[in-house]
Structure 1
Amino acid sequence: MCGIAGFVWPAGGTPPPAEERRALLSAMTGAMAHRGPDGEGLLIDGPAALGHRRLSIIDLAAGSQPMEDPDGRAVVTFNGEIYNYRELKARYAMRGFRFRTNSDTEVILAAWLLDGPAGLDALEGMFAFALWDRDSRTLFAARDRFGKKPLAYTIQNGVFAFASELTALAKLPFLRLETPIGALMRFAAYEYIPTPETIYKDVFKLRPGHYLLWRDGQLTTAPYWDMPLPGPEPKESEEELCEKLRLLLAQSVKRRLVADVPLGVFLSGGVDSSAVAALTAGMVSRVKTFSIGFSEASYDESRYARMVAGRFATDHHERILSADACGSLLPEIVSRFDEPMADPSIVPTYLLSQVTRENVTVALGGDGPDELFYGYEYFPAFHLAAGYDRLPPFVRKRLIEPLAKMLPHSSGYINPRFVADTFLAGATAPQWLRVQTWLSAFSAESQAHLWREARPGMLAPERLFAPTKELFEGFPADDPLARVGYVFARQYMLDYILVKVDRCSMMHSLEARAPFLDRDLAEFVCRLPSRYKLRGAKRKYLLKKAVADLLPKDILGRGKRGFLIPVADWLRGQLRPQVDELLGQRHLRDQGIFNPVEVGRLVTEHATKAADHRKKLWTLLVLQLWLAKHKPTIIP
């Protein structure tokens, strides 16, 4: 796990002197030192500059980067791991490639030189890399199939620049990093900036499963993999499917145990991380597991992690914290993100990564099944909404909606009134927008009065939520639920879950691996009809059946909850000073972006418990904390 950065000067242009470019490149890599504390590599080669920060995982002695092939034709800077590199080395050696190291990096060079972009199909792992081909004067870059590893790029003044994080691009003085109001609106809607856009104008994230080619001032991007469509009813019995799923998961875990440094497992006590821990315990002697808990009983679920750790006799490490006290960490964590991202669980994820890094360098986690196996409550709700929409209008308007308005507000984990209002809003939305309506902090309608200047064109739902519409309608599955799953994997998981884990783990120089996002496993799951993922109200149906004999019954019967965070109370308590400062009338008037009256209404109603605006206020506070730290130029 590392950080990569670089730029390519345009053909015919006059680049700065080599030493000046080297200093710029070093500034870029220095901004990502947390991603690679074990070394820095810089290369100036004609118009190209490639930089690397290394976190040593495989071939600690000889794996430094940027790395050249033996003939000096190409050089690569690489972030991630290629899990099948040993098999690929044998394959490429038979075809004449001369390997000089035991590093997985070298197989990327071989794949390009022997097969070009088609060589990506052979790579199993998580990766983002940029490769400079000296012969063809081509920069070739790619991102792994699910986007575990980040890669952003821009083209300005003829210069192509790329980096693992936007903070590295900000070190290049010849780039203009401006934030359009439209990007802020998109963030208010999603709580993140959906790929391929970023918070900055003309700066993009490479889509997962895509590569790019930069040659003679021309950029080409293309997909090399996508999630397969659901297939017909399988011929195998459910028991046979369970056995195959279990074997594929075991294979995936085994692949991710390749490392020359200590490794362990994130263990929340949920089905997903518990299954990974169980399988790892069968392959590693006394595997280390890690969890955090909270001193407040209503937020603490650490007993489930201890239950699993005891079942498999792991070397378990646990830290109990105060949920109330954790809120004070938010400003520091948010300010270190290269883009704003309003997932409240960034705080416990950051702390879990910190605890884990004190003991190991690599950690396996349970990300992926909620999207691939339909584990979120939104999947059964999607079906329920279809039934609700078929009810006679008078039943909906005169019975159900008035009853929903009688439900109480609560600052706890579940707020009945908020849940009901959110469900009803999504139930009447178009299919493509239904789930995103449930997920959004600010709908198009609720943003109408949020901004100082009205922008009705941007706030049309088809435009504000265009990234979701494109994914939903572009995935040609007959089953709408499969389209929902595709959007979850290609948007919510990509830009919310995986970004959170990558940034929080890398802040502590910890590599996080996701066995459920293995290509073989994911393709098997994607091809299954939806009924093997959602059976009635039973979510993750086949997965739970496949691991039923591995895990304690109390774990299998748990509902999906995630990290429990007292956001509503934080906003009234220890975060109130930041709320008053950054969302206060004076600051908003001076800033000139938001409508002070509307934001003031949200703050007052939440503070007095007249309404629960935790989601909206949290999103606004995160954005304001990020803006205060990064100070971008805001443009119309």
Structure 2
Amino acid sequence: MCGIAGFVWPGGGGEPSEAERLSWLSAATGALAHRGPDGEGLLLEGPCALGHRRLSIIDLAAGSQPMEDADGRAVVTFNGEIYNYRELKARYAGRGFHFRTQSDTEVILAAWLLDGPAGLDALEGMFAFALWDKASRTLFAARDRFGKKPFYYTLQNGILAFGSELSALAKLPFLRLETPVAALLRFAAYEYVPTPETIYKDVFKLKPGHYLLFRDGKLTTDSYWDMPLPGPEPKASEEDLCAELRLLLAQAVKRRLVADVPLGVFLSGGVDSSTVAALTAGMVSRIKTFSIGFTEASYDESRYARLVASRFATDHHERILSADACGSLLPEIVARFDEPMADPSIVPTYLLSQVTRENVTVALGGDGPDELFYGYEYFPAFNLAAAYDRLPSFARKRLIEPLTRLLPQSAGYVNPRFVADTFLAGARAPQWLRVQTWLSAFSAEAQANLWRDPPAGLLDPAALFAPTKALFDAYPAKDPLARVGYAFARQYMLDYILVKVDRCSMMHSLEARAPFLDRDVAEFVCRLPSRYKLRGTKRKYLLKKAVAGLLPKEILGRGKRGFLIPVASWLRGQLRPQVDMLLGEKHLREQGIFNPREVSRLVAEHATGAADHRKKLWTLLVLQLWLDAHKPSIIP
């Protein structure tokens, strides 16, 4: 796991000196030191500058980067792991490629030089890399199938620049990084800026499963993999499908145990992380597991993690914290994120990564099943909304909806009124927008009064949520639920879940691996009809059946709980001074972005308990903390 950065300078005269380019490159990689504290590599090759920060995982002695092939034809800077690199080395060596190290990095060079972009199909792992082909003067870059590793890029004045984080690009003095108000609207809607856009104008994220080519000043991107469509009803029995799934999961875990440093497992006590812990414990003696607990009972799940740790005799490490005390860390964590992202669980994820890194360098986690196996409550809610929509209009508008207004408000884990209002808003939305309506902090309608001078075009839902519709339309499954699952994986998981895990783990120089996002596992699950994932109201149906004999019954019978913190009460309590300062009328008027009257209304209603605006206020607070820390130039 590492950090990469670089740029390709156009010809035509006026090029900066080598000393200038090396200075810029060093500044960019220096911003990524937390991703790679074990070494720095800088290389100038003609117009191309490649930088690398290394976190040593495999071939500790000889795996330094940027790395050239033995014949000096190409050089690569790489972030991630190629899990099948040993098999690929044998394959490529048989085709005449000469390897000089035991590192997985070298197989990327072999794949390109022997097969070009088609060589990406052979790589199994998580990766983002940039490779410079000296002969063709081509930059070739790619991102893994699910986007576990980040890759940002921009083309300005003929100069292509890239990096693992926007913080690296911000160090390059020849780039112009400006934040358009349109990006802020998108963030307020999604709680992140969806791929391929970023918080900055003309700076993009490379899509997952895509590659980039830059040659003679021309930049192109293309797809090399996508999630397969659901197939017909399997001929195999459910028992055989369960057996195949267990085999694939075991294989995925085994692939991710390859390392020359200590490993461990994130263990929350849920089905997903418990499955990873159980499979790992069967392959490694006395595996280390890590969990975070809270003193507040309604948010604490540590007893479930302890139950699993005891069942599999792991070396368990646990830290119990006060959820209220965690709020003081929020400004520091948000400031270190290269883009604003309003997932409240960044705080416990940051702390979990800190505890884990004190003991190991690599951790396996349970990310992926909620998207692939329809584990979120939004999936059965999607079907329920379809049924609700079929009810007679009088039943919906004169009976059910008036009754929901009698439900109580609560600042706890579940707010009945908030849940009901959110469900009804999504039920009224078209299919493609339904789940995103439930996920959004601010709808297009809610944003109409939020901004001082909003771009009128984005206040239309079709424009504001165009990235979601594009994904929904791009996956031609006949089953709408499968299209929802695709959009979830390609948007919510990509830009919310995986970004959170990557940034929080790498802040502590910890590598996080996700066995459930193994290509073979994912393709197997994607091809299953939806009823093997959601059976009635039973979520993760086949997964839970497959691991029923592996996990304690108490774990299998649990309802899903997110890695949550008491946001609603924080906003009324310990974070109230920051709310008053950053969302106060004086600050907002000086800033000139928001409508102070509307923000004041949201703050007052939440403070008195008249309404639950936790999502809206949390999103605004995170944005203000990020703007305060990064101070970008805001443009119309």
Q: TM-score range by the shorter chain?
A: over 0.9
1:130 offset after TM fit, Å? Answer: 0.1
Distance 1:296 1:366 in 2: 24
Distance 2:14 2:46 in 1: 11
Deviations 1:37-75 (A, max 9, x none): 000000011100000000000000000000000000100
1:90 aligns with 90
1:513 aligns with 2:513: yes
Letter in 1 for 2:492: Y
Map 1:369-408; keep pairs closer than 5 Å: 369-408=369-408
Q: Name the SS for the 2:153 alignment partner.
A: strand
Contact 2:79 2:128 (C-alpha < 8 Å) held by counterparts: yes
1:170 aligns with 170
Distance 2:435 2:281 in 1: 37
Map 1:117-156; keep pairs closer than 5 Å: 117-156=117-156
Map 1:215-614; keep pairs closer than 5 Å: 215-614=215-614
Distance 2:153 2:49 in 1: 14
Letter in 1 for 2:451: W
* TM-score with structure 1 setting the length: 1.00
Letter in 1 for 2:200: Y
Letter in 1 for 2:390: R
Q: Name the SS for the 2:259 alignment partner.
A: coil
Deviations 1:441-499 (A, max 9, x none): 00000001000124331110110000000000111000000000000000000000000
Distance 2:97 2:455 in 1: 57
Deviations 1:422-453 (A, max 9, x none): 00000010000000000000000000100012
The gaps in structure 2 that reach 5 residues or longer are none
Contact 1:145 1:208 (C-alpha < 8 Å) held by counterparts: yes
Contact 1:606 1:613 (C-alpha < 8 Å) held by counterparts: yes
Distance 1:462 1:176 in 2: 29
Deviations 1:14-44 (A, max 9, x none): 3210011001000000001000000000001
Letter in 2 for 1:362: V
Distance 1:297 1:401 in 2: 33
1:199 aligns with 199
Contact 1:11 1:217 (C-alpha < 8 Å) held by counterparts: no
2:12 aligns with 12
Q: Name the SS for the 1:43 alignment partner.
A: strand
Deviations 1:265-299 (A, max 9, x none): 00000000000000000000100000010111121
1:53 aligns with 53
Query: Runs of 4 or more off by more than 3 Å in structure 1?
Result: none
Contact 1:11 1:216 (C-alpha < 8 Å) held by counterparts: no
1:211 offset after TM fit, Å? Answer: 0.1
Deviations 1:274-326 (A, max 9, x none): 00000000000100000010111121110000000000000000000000000
Letter in 1 for 2:94: M
Deviations 1:236-263 (A, max 9, x none): 0000000000000000000000000000
Distance 1:69 1:166 in 2: 29
1:39 aligns with 2:36: no
Letter in 1 for 2:572: R
Deviations 1:146-184 (A, max 9, x none): 000000000011100000000100001111100000000
For residues 431 and 88 of structure 1, do their structure 2 counterparts lie closer, same or farther at Cα, with a shift above 3 Å needed? same
Distance 1:424 1:42 in 2: 55
The gaps in structure 1 that reach 5 residues or longer are none
Letter in 1 for 2:185: M
1:66 aligns with 66
Deviations 1:366-402 (A, max 9, x none): 0000000000000000000001111111111100110
1:363 offset after TM fit, Å? Answer: 0.1
Distance 2:203 2:357 in 1: 32
Identity between Structure 1 and Structure 2 (%): 86
Letter in 2 for 1:607: A
Q: Name the SS for the 1:51 alignment partner.
A: strand
Deviations 1:506-531 (A, max 9, x none): 00000000000000010000000000
Letter in 1 for 2:70: P
Contact 1:6 1:162 (C-alpha < 8 Å) held by counterparts: yes
Q: Name the SS for the 2:478 alignment partner.
A: coil
1:11 offset after TM fit, Å? Answer: 2.9
Letter in 2 for 1:189: A
Letter in 2 for 1:221: T
Deviations 1:109-160 (A, max 9, x none): 0000000000000000000000000000000000000000000000011100
Distance 1:417 1:342 in 2: 22
1:564 offset after TM fit, Å? Answer: 2.4
Distance 2:630 2:173 in 1: 15
Letter in 1 for 2:475: F
For residues 454 and 214 of structure 1, do their structure 2 counterparts lie closer, same or farther at Cα, with a shift above 3 Å needed? closer
Distance 1:292 1:114 in 2: 46
Letter in 1 for 2:601: R
Contact 2:153 2:162 (C-alpha < 8 Å) held by counterparts: yes
1:629 aligns with 629
* TM-score with structure 2 setting the length: 1.00
